[in-house]
Structure 1
Amino acid sequence: GFEECWLSGRLLDPQHLVVLLPHYLDDHAEPEVLLEKVGRAGVITMNRPKVLNALNLTMIRQIYPQLKKWESDNETDIVIIKGAGDKAFCAGGDIRAVTEAGKVGDSLAQDFFREEYILNNAIGSYRKPYIALIDGITMGGGVGLSVHGRFRVATEKTLFAMPETAIGLFPDVGGGYFLPRLQGKLGLFLALTGFRLKGRDVQRAGVATHFVESKKVPCALSVQLFTSDALQGRMKGRGVVEVLLFSVSCPNSVRLFSASSVEGIVKNLKTDGSEFAKKQTETLSKMSPTSLKITLKQLQAGASLSLQDVLVMEYRLSQACMRGYDFYEGVRAVLVDKDQNPKWNPSTLEEVSDQMVEQCFSSLGEKDLTL
């Protein structure tokens, strides 16, 4: 069962992808989102702890209008978003439901991505301080609910990852915007491999803006971390905290991802031959070749685009994945049959042509995302 998988630690394996959780375990007796005012703060609590607060369309449709209401409300100074339970902020989107919809042509395959990205954009352009308490697992859709906001507070329990290439998807929810803006090639490394950042490394990498011990989060929120200056928006110019030199196992190891093609990155890793390089080579060999190539182009393009333009691009990519093969095969292997042995098509990087990748970025015409 779910709890047994969690307690055994196997759920933390990137190949098990906690970012992609089935929706059928949810307890519908409880509201899926709690929306409340605490003083002059609007507080959003994702309330699906049994599935690590996985985000579904119902939740999106509750959060978005409330965010817009609080943004124009003179009685609300800040917005705080957090997850219920002690394991996760939000482990991702309810991808299994999207998969089933995509198979039968149900509109959820369009609606979920479209409305999720509109919510991501609203967070990225929010006029009031937006504080995400990323205490626990923060992946996929949970990343989209946090990284675009002004403040992201990590704790020792934070586990951050974007492991979508393992199921034939790509790091969406604005990943094409924030990942290439991390230091060096760190964002590309995280995007291609699904590598998990933990605790203080989440702040050091520039994903979080603050680090607070989990037990001190309530106190920090009330009196220490967010001063009146912050509430008045004077800290906005600081942006992301200064990124420290990030190293996985040796200094500058992420430099191996400095290549213009996925094949070039793999060649760099094989030539390097270090234990780190061998591990990343093995990881990449398990990922969807199509997803890897789409992701590289996504981050290359996103580095010079606005968040809005990135989300338009990513919506096109999401629908290409819905039309394709690898997404359904990846979800089958990871979530349904759980054999962890997807049969990708094409099965090698060499078979994924530039033309195939380009087609995924093509305009959807009147069906394009509009922000």
Structure 2
Amino acid sequence: MAAEEGLPQFETSADVIVERVGSLGRIRLNRPKAMNSLTHAMVHLIAPALDAFEKDAVIAAVLLTGEGERGLCAGGDIRALYEGERTPDGTGAQFWRDEYRVNARIARFPKPYVAVMDGITMGGGIGLSAHGAHRIVTERSRIAMPEVGIGFVPDVGGTWLLAHAPGEIGTYLALTGEAIGPADAIYAGLADVQIPLAGIPALIDELTQLTPGTGNAAIHTLLAKHAMQPETARLAGHRALIDQCFAGSSVEAILQALEADGTPFALKTRDLIASKSPTSLKLTFRLIRLAREAEGLEECLEREFAAAVAVAQGHDFYEGVRAAIIDKDRNPRWSPPSLAEVDDGNIEAWIQPVADRVFG
């Protein structure tokens, strides 16, 4: 991008395009062939972009979008983590520490932060979007925190977001890893408004013409002008069952409640949960319950970081990535293979903040 005279020059790359268009600061994730999966290098471009946009008096708002037609961001680049250094302060820990700092930065960003959660928006993509002030979904949005399916845990502040979803919806989404559409994303509190994909270019054009100093209330009014009424949330129809069955004091209790309910939805949900990493399920459940009592997002991110570092020293994360991404046999062999064999003492140890904390 050619820098305009008197304006800051933004660091950019092929993978992250940072630019000012009118009064709009734009961050465009640009790895469309990889569904804009987030790398450590990309995090190192997003962080200074936010700093520059905050200081630039011309910038009225910041917009996050993903290039290509497949999605905003499918999550972190887990292949890179799989192939990286597997030590307590190795590839994963270094990436997560910097990523989580950006997640917290977005949550407290002083100017309006708008994210278009079009297409696949999962994992790390949630961290870059759902903490923003204005979260837009389209008719093709698919939103998820699917980490238990690869032997990991909902991170990037996902436990904070899910813990504050209505009723037990967050617990359901965390333990199933289920992908949801735009209506359910709004219902779960992960998004705010649905705008037709065809209307996004006109919205972006109007955002570029905002007056510097525009507040969130004006952005809300602008989005409402372009919004459409979402369909009825699918999860709303199962809310009573979810709230009842997922209120249990353990993963085992939840599975027993689903079994006892016996309806097709309950049994399908039971089987879906049972296919996930037992260790990840127990760790995720504990993180979600603790997040409900947390003072804020950063407390949850700190706990997620400790859990992520611990998981990265174990078996299931690498086995889950192998089965999903490397060999693609979709047949992970979890260790331990059952909930009964998971050491609850380990779960408690893994959620204790590490010495080298994310937030000092």
Distance 1:177 1:230, change over 3 A: farther
The yes-or-no answer on 1:330 pairing with 2:326 is no
The yes-or-no answer on 1:252 pairing with 2:235 is no
Cα distance in 1 between the residues matched to 2:266 and 2:50: 43
Segments of 5+ residues of structure 2 without an aligned counterpart are: 1-12, 225-229
Spell out the pairing of 1:79-94 with structure 2 (5 A cutoff).
79-94=62-77
From 250, 256, 260, give the equivalent of 1:271.
Answer: 260
From 100, 109, 112, give the equivalent of 1:117.
Answer: 100
Cα distance in 2 between the residues matched to 1:319 and 1:41: 36
Spell out the pairing of 1:211-230 with structure 2 (5 A cutoff).
211-223=194-206
Cα distance in 2 between the residues matched to 1:162 and 1:278: 21
1:354 match = 344
The yes-or-no answer on 1:315 pairing with 2:312 is no
Q: CA deviation at 1:200?
A: 2.5
Spell out the pairing of 1:148-187 with structure 2 (5 A cutoff).
148-187=131-170
Q: CA deviation at 1:234?
A: 3.6
1:15 match = none
Normalization by structure 1: what TM-score? Answer: 0.85
The yes-or-no answer on 1:55 pairing with 2:38 is yes
From 55, 61, 67, give the equivalent of 1:78.
Answer: 61
Cα distance in 1 between the residues matched to 2:306 and 2:88: 16
Cα distance in 1 between the residues matched to 2:120 and 2:140: 8
Q: CA deviation at 1:355?
A: 0.6
- State the one-letter code of the partner of 1:247: L
Report % sequence identity.
Answer: 37
- State the one-letter code of the partner of 1:97: A
Aligned residues: 338
From 231, 245, 253, give the equivalent of 2:214.
Answer: 231
Cα distance in 2 between the residues matched to 1:235 and 1:316: 39
For residues 290-339 of structure 1, give each alpha carbon's deviation from its aligned partner in whole angstroms, at most 9, with x where no partner exists.
10011011011111221111111111011001111111111111111212
Q: CA deviation at 1:235?
A: 6.5
Q: CA deviation at 1:253?
A: 2.8
Cα distance in 1 between the residues matched to 2:237 and 2:213: 36
For residues 157-179 of structure 1, give each alpha carbon's deviation from its aligned partner in whole angstroms, at most 9, with x where no partner exists.
10001110011100100011111
- State the one-letter code of the partner of 1:45: R
CA RMSD after TM alignment: 2.5
Runs of 4+ in 1 over 4 A off after TM superposition: 226-230, 235-238, 243-246
CA contact (8 A) 2:60 2:211 kept: no
- State the one-letter code of the partner of 1:282: D
Distance 1:106 1:338, change over 3 A: farther
- State the one-letter code of the partner of 1:287: K
- State the one-letter code of the partner of 2:285: L
In structure 2, the residue corresponding to 1:218 is in which secondary structure?
helix
Cα distance in 2 between the residues matched to 1:159 and 1:237: 23
The yes-or-no answer on 1:296 pairing with 2:279 is no
Spell out the pairing of 1:19-30 with structure 2 (5 A cutoff).
none
Q: CA deviation at 1:278?
A: 1.0
Cα distance in 2 between the residues matched to 1:356 and 1:183: 30
1:32 match = 15
Normalization by structure 2: what TM-score? Answer: 0.88
Q: CA deviation at 1:233?
A: 3.0
CA contact (8 A) 1:78 1:130 kept: yes
CA contact (8 A) 2:66 2:72 kept: yes
Cα distance in 2 between the residues matched to 1:363 and 1:251: 34
From 206, 210, 214, give the equivalent of 2:193.
Answer: 210
